[in-house]
Amino acid sequence: MVAAAWLYEAWEPTLLVRGWLLQGVVGGVAVAVGYGVGVLLRRLGRRLRRRRGWGIPAFDERTDLKVRALTAALLVVLGTWAATKAVSEHSWTWERLGYDPASRWLVYGGTLAVTAVVAGALFVAAAALRWVQRRLTRMGRRWVPAWVAGSIAFVLVAWAVLAGLNAYVLQRSLDGFNATFAASDRDLSEASDPPESPLRTGGPSSQADWAGLGKEGRRFLTRGPDEATIAEITPGDEPLEPVRVYAGRASAGDVESRVEQALDELERFGAFQRAAVLVVVPTGTGWVNEQIVQPVEYLLAGDVATVAVQYSHLPSPLAFLSEGEAAATTGAALVGAVRARLDEEPEGERPAMLVAGESLGSFGASGAFESLDDLLGTTDASLWIGPPETMHLRREAERVRRPGSPQVAPVVGDGEDVAFANRDADLRGRSPRTVFLQQADDPIVWWDWETALARPDWLEEPLDPAVNPAMSWTPLTTFLNLAVDMAVGNDFDEDHGHLYGTQPLTAWRAMLAPDGWTDDRVEQLRERLRAVAR
């Protein structure tokens, strides 16, 4: 019965939709874990009855068989009803995301078949572990009481499984991924040629090793507009060529050395004589979103220098598990070094300090600031895209938000300096100094450990229009569903899930307020940016 209840919860509407294969895996895990919980509850109930001396009349064998058969039939009926209800409720999200399943038979039959296979495999694995535990218990009875032997056997089996998963699955997988991505970062067989611009790392004036900049670093340094491209759309005087600086993970052995290399490159290219310096903390692999950088380069007519330092070779989910602190350490070191160098310039000639980060990069960049007040006091503008729950500045904003303002769009203070936006329209007519872009259907934003045991405010308050009206909160299962949603957060069109499209352009325009950039001109730039590949 618990397994059926958990399967029902696994099918409940959530922020995004999943393919039938992934949904089947989720369903199989839910059935197996739910069944295990049910077995545990039954055993605890039996022990409690024995200890309290509660007697419950037992069925004879024939009646017991009938009760079990009736229960099984009832659960099949309820399961069929739950599957039909789930498909109906998920249709709202399918339509919103433009998702059209290739076959309804796969939605029903395929999901159920995968659920059965996965649950069966987990049952077999559990039975094998149970057999090992019983063998150890029998051996232990020779020397200690049965209950002591059983407890020791359980602890030994649990320890062996957890240690094995950590040492042979998690750690070896992470080490393997790290080695693979590190080798890929230095592989130049498919790399483009170094930039010809003397204002980019890897170019003629740079002292950086092209191989050490990493795959994403090389990609970042060979993209973006030059002054001629910027001139096609930018109003006003003749634009400049933007400066781009990047330090790869393989460039040096520690964070301080990589940051020092980046500062040397900025000095070499005259970055501190520009109108602004943009510090970007990349995602796990070192990827820098062009939608963060190019809008600033256009809006400021190229009079900007952008700098980024890589802290990991791994994709963000794996980097979060193994090198999460490296992101914050790198962000704090880079932002601190740039801020200190800017303070050496005369106050009237000092470039503006801009900071940005996306996803794990937002967590990393926020490591440079103790609070929102510290952020506003040391930067001229900052942009945070899809910040995870570990990002303390977002947490602070939620904690101190004005009463009545929702968690998905908290209002801090008078609402002038700090802006939270779920869509472009939320920034219309505003001129904040820091912007948090966090879509209501982005699971990476809303996944939170506390959701396992407590209903979050964003599900207690009136739901955002991007959230399925049928979505509700239940202990543990909502948390697990959001965790699965994170795996598909980048699988949809821009402006859904964890993809923010050209929304950074709207945010930068609101914060920088550049002269001559009318609505029509901004929309022209938006169309140009839409063609930029991720």
Side chain identity at 259, as an amino acid letter? Answer: V
- Percentage of residues of the chain with pLDDT beyond 70: 88
Q: What are phi and psi of 227, to 5 degrees?
A: -65, -35
Q: Check if the beta carbon of residue 195 is closer than 8 Å to that of residue 203.
A: yes
Dist CA 440 CA 416 (whole Å): 22
Residue 495 has pLDDT above 80, yes or no: yes
Residue 43 has pLDDT above 60, yes or no: yes
Residue 114 has pLDDT above 90, yes or no: no
What lies within 8 Å, CB to CB, of 337 at 6+ separation is: 259, 260, 262, 263
Q: Check if the beta carbon of residue 121 is closer than 8 Å to that of residue 45.
A: no
Question: What's the pLDDT tens digit per position in 10-27?
Answer: 888 899 988 778 888 888
Residue located via tokens 């160098």? 341
Find the range with the poorest average confidence among 104-118, 215-229, 442-456, 468-482.
104-118
Question: What's the pLDDT tens digit per position in 166-176?
Answer: 555 555 555 56
pLDDT given at position 189: 66
Q: Check if the beta carbon of residue 86 is closer than 8 Å to that of residue 12.
A: yes
Q: What is the 3-state secondary structure (H, E, C) of 176-197?
A: HHHHHHHHHHHCCCCCCCCCCC
Q: What are phi and psi of 381, to 5 degrees?
A: -165, 145
Q: What mean pLDDT value characterizes the chain?
A: 87
Residue 246 has pLDDT above 70, yes or no: yes
pLDDT given at position 312: 85
Q: How confident is the model at residue 94 (pLDDT cuts 50, 70, 90)?
A: confident
Question: What's the pLDDT tens digit per position in 369-389?
Answer: 999 999 999 999 999 999 999
Specify which residues 77 forms β-bridges with.
none
pLDDT given at position 187: 66
Question: What's the pLDDT tens digit per position in 291-319?
Answer: 999 999 999 999 999 999 999 877 766 66
Task: Compute CA 496 distance to the chain's CA centroid, rounded to the nearest angstrom.
Answer: 13
Higher-confidence position of 532 and 99:
532
Q: How confident is the model at residue 88 (pLDDT cuts 50, 70, 90)?
A: confident
Residue 140 has pLDDT above 80, yes or no: no
Residue 150 has pLDDT above 90, yes or no: no
Say whether 107 sits in a helix, a strand or coil.
helix
Side chain identity at 52, as an amino acid letter? Answer: R
Side chain identity at 148, as an amino acid letter? Answer: V
Nearest to 408 by CA among 329, 461, 353, 480: 461
How many helices (H) does the chain have, and how many strands (E)?
20, 7
Q: How many residues does the chain have?
A: 534
For residues 502-509, average pLDDT: 96
Burial of 384 (0-12, 13-18, 19+ CB in 10 A): buried
Dist CA 297 CA 270 (whole Å): 16
Q: DSSP letters along 301-347, please?
A: TT-EEEEEE---SS-HHHHHHHHHHHHHHHHHHHHHHHHHHHTTS-G
Say whether 236 sits in a helix, a strand or coil.
coil
Find the range with the poorest average confidence among 304-313, 322-331, 413-422, 431-440.
322-331
Residue located via tokens 């939170």? 448
Left (φ > 0), alpha (ψ -120 to 50) or beta: where does 369 sit? beta
Say whether 206 sits in a helix, a strand or coil.
coil
